[in-house]
Amino acid sequence: MVKRAMHCKRIVVKIGTSSLIHQNGKVNLQTIDRLAYALTALNNQGYELVLVTSGAIGVGMAKLGVSARPAAIAHQQALAAIGQSELMTLYTQRFSDYGAKIGQLLLTHDVFDYPQTRQHVLDTIDALLAQEVIPIINENDSVAVDELDHRTTFGDNDQLSALVGKQIDADLLMVLSDIDGLYDQDPNRHPDAALIPEITHLSAKVLAGAGGSSTRFGTGGMVTKLKAAQTMMRAGKQMVLASGRDPRIILRIVAGEPVGTWFGNVLEQVSPDNQASNS
């Protein structure tokens, strides 16, 4: 397989709940540690990193020993309120171990619906990146609900990560999930399913073949990931969907290794230092 090369300086990484929470409901500390290591390593090389994280409700469930996600919105939001602080504590500990600085942003959809608030958020992210701080973004699940004409929810963090990637003009969105990439058929049902290494056009057939969420902790599925890819591709950017079992795969992606499924046209690789001198 031919090694891919890519042109990137500003990168959004989205990690799903299924990567952060074990099947038994416990927090996957090794994943969080490896994620902090990989992002810090790239930050030290001059890349601009934004992390969009799921997991607040899952971590809240783990904290309280809840085995099933409650149906009531208020109970989910209570878990999110508990889990968000726990999750940020874990991120703070692990990123600090590697000498990285992080900052938290909790967003609702209407922040991006209004030009003034959208610009404030974008200015904040730019200010953080200029100081080599890694923004960690999550939806504000403890307050975000759909009420009449007041839209607050993104629906899932796949959509949030793509919207953030588009708004901050990121070169690449990495979506780390519980699957190695996009397959030509459901690999859980068909042992002969083949990974699709590259997608340059999202056809109606591809979109129609996507399934739902595969874990009790997460809310997304392949449909939301393909919609995220569509958002990035329409903006002339790239997205890669890859396994989040070991977040150090981020380093392999940036190195241009052929892992996961790449969405969009692949361009010549330029390091952050070279990109700055060529612009």
Indicate the annotated binding residues for substrate.
54, 141, 157
For 59, half-sphere exposure in the C-beta direction (CA atoms, 13 angstrom radius) is 24
Indicate the annotated binding residues for ATP.
14, 177-178, 219-225
Listed residue (79, 34, 31, 43) closest to 58, CA to CA = 79
Do 221 and 214 touch, CB atoms closer than 8 A?
Answer: yes
How far is C-alpha 226 from the chain's CA centre? 13
**Coil vs helix vs strand at 139:** strand
The DSSP result for 84-104, as a single string, is HHHHHHHHHHHHHHTT-EEEE
Indicate the annotated binding residues.
14, 54, 141, 157, 177-178, 219-225
Strand arrangement, sheet containing 48-53: 101-107, 133-139, 48-53, 10-15, 172-177, 238-243, 261-263, 198-199
List of residues 6+ apart from 230 with CB closer than 8 A: 202
Tell me the C-alpha distance between 144 and 230, whole Å. Answer: 24
How many residues are listed for the chain in this entry? 279
Q: How many CB atoms lie within 10 A of CB 102?
A: 21
